Each structure stands twice: as structure tokens, then as C-alpha cells.
Copies of this chain bind each other. A is one copy, B any other.
Amino acid sequence: MLSKPKGRLFVISASSGTGKTTLARELLKGDKNLVPSISYTTRAPRANEVNGEDYYFVSKGEFSSIRKKKGFLEWANVFGNYYGTPRKEVEEHLRRRRNVLLLIDVQGAKQVKKVRPDSVFIFLAPPSKEELRRRLEKRGTESKKEIQKRLKVATRELDELNDLSLCDYRIVNREIGACYRVLKAIIGAERG
């Protein structure tokens, strides 16, 4: 029989443009016992993204092969690209009493909820749909058509995360400093 894992898995989901990447980086910097789960993806790296740090960038063939071996805790097709959370790494961290931070979309969070219902599910929401659009446009990394697509997905996700059984904490990210302090407190309050 396997012994029960002692670390806690923190699943943070957020609409595009809510600042989740910055927040995650700060949380990891300030907490030695919190480690990131690094996802596999088939999408192309953005400027400044490093393989093995931000993501493991793999081909569709490699991704498919891992998926077939049940190597992902969850995986999803988002805007035509595949994303997956490596099962072994997460389980190994938890077994070593490390808390794991997993940044994924709502689709992925729902899968994790099924296989690891004892995780803590946190959602960062934009103050409004208008504010979300403004933030996406300001970022300037997506085309107008892509922004439309992302807004549509974000709206559906906002509806889904209203489900109490999926979302333990919903935080409207108005001011990133307050958001960071509250996230830190949630991890402190719920750690394994």
C-alpha cells in the first residue's frame, strides 16, 4: 500500500491577462517549500520563455506518446495547442512533503478535481469582462481575432468556476499586491 502524500497541491486557474504568471513567480520566490509543476506543451515558446523552466516544449508526437502512457495528471487542447501536467513529478513532490503550485486553465482544473479532490482550487477572476478585454489588448501579444476567442473562453470559464464544488477560493484581482498577499495566506492556511 502506498503511504498518503503529505504535500498539498494548489491549483490556480485564471483568465488570460489576470497576471497569474507574475503572481506565481513571486509566490515561488518567497516560499522554499513550494515548487512549480512544469507543464508539457506543444505550443511555440514566447519570447523569454525557457524550456524546462516555463514549460517543457515538445512536439505533438512526443506529447501523444506521454499521453498514451497515462503520463499526464490532466491534459487539454487549448486554442489548438496541447498542455499536460506530468503525473510522476507532481506525485514525487507531494510524497517529499513539498507543496506544488499548478497553473492551469479551468478545463484542466476540472480534471485534477476528479483525480485529486483533496487539492486546493483557487481562481483569479478579472474585475469584469470589460477589464479583461482591456488587459488582453494592453498585453499586445495576441491578434484581435485571438483576443475575441480568448474572451469567449474566459466568459465560459467564469461561469464554470461559479461551481462551489470546484472553486474553493475565488479572488477578483483588482490590485496585484493585495492579490499576492491573499494567495500567500491561502497557501499558508491550507498547506500540508
Contact = CB atoms under 8 A, between A and B. Distances in A.
Given A185-B184, A189-B178, A162 B165 contact: no
Contact of A126 (B164, B167, B178): B164
A106 interface: no
A169 B170 contact: yes
A172 interface: yes
Interface residues of A, number: 25
A132 to B, nearest CB: 10
A122 to B, nearest CB: 10
A164 B169 contact: no
A21 interface: no
A172 B171 CA distance: 12
Nearest to A132: B164
Interface string A158-192: 10001011011111101001100110111011100
Nearest to A191: B178
A158, A172, A181 — most chain B CB neighbours (10 Å): A172
A128 interface: yes
B170 A127 contact: no
B169 A127 contact: no
A112 interface: no
A178 B164 contact: no
A177 B188 CA distance: 12
Contacts of A125: 164
Interface of A: 125-128, 158, 162, 164-165, 167-172, 174, 177-178, 181-182, 184-186, 188-190
20 contacts: A127-B165, A162-B162, A164-B172, A167-B170, A168-B171, A168-B172, A168-B174, A169-B170, A169-B171, A169-B172, A169-B182, A178-B189, A178-B190, A181-B185, A181-B188, A181-B189, A182-B182, A182-B189, A185-B186, A185-B188
